[in-house]
Amino acid sequence: MGQVAPPPRRAVLPAVIGPLLKLLAVPAMARTVRASAADAATRAGFGLAAGLAGAVGLFCFSRSSLTVLERNMDPAEAWAVLGGFYSVAGGLLYFAATRRRRG
């Protein structure tokens, strides 16, 4: 009678290591998610602060320019000059922002 080869042994080690590696990877992924959330919150806060600072600066610039212009001309003319300035500035910013899409 011929000898029968023993059945191949199943590798027990990978079956044990896989779940352990997953268990160890979960806290590392959670730290990454927490760090990303904190980074996003920080960026949002900086964006909000920059927007608020820009709005206050624009308000102050507008009031000071109106005060200076109203000394030399009628208040309606001063508002027209300021409106024209902001129209030109807005148009330039629009064309600068959409330059990539147009070209």
Residue 82: the pLDDT is 93
Distance (Å, whole) CA 14 – CA 20: 10
State the pLDDT confidence band at 66, using cuts at 50, 70 and 90.
Answer: very high
Q: What is the pLDDT of residues 33-47, one digit of tens each?
A: 888 888 899 999 999
Domain residues of the chain, as ranges? Answer: 14-102
Q: Where are the alpha helices (DSSP H) in the chain?
A: 12-72, 75-97, 99-102
| pTM of the model as a whole | 0.57
| 79: nearest Cα among 90, 68, 89 | 68
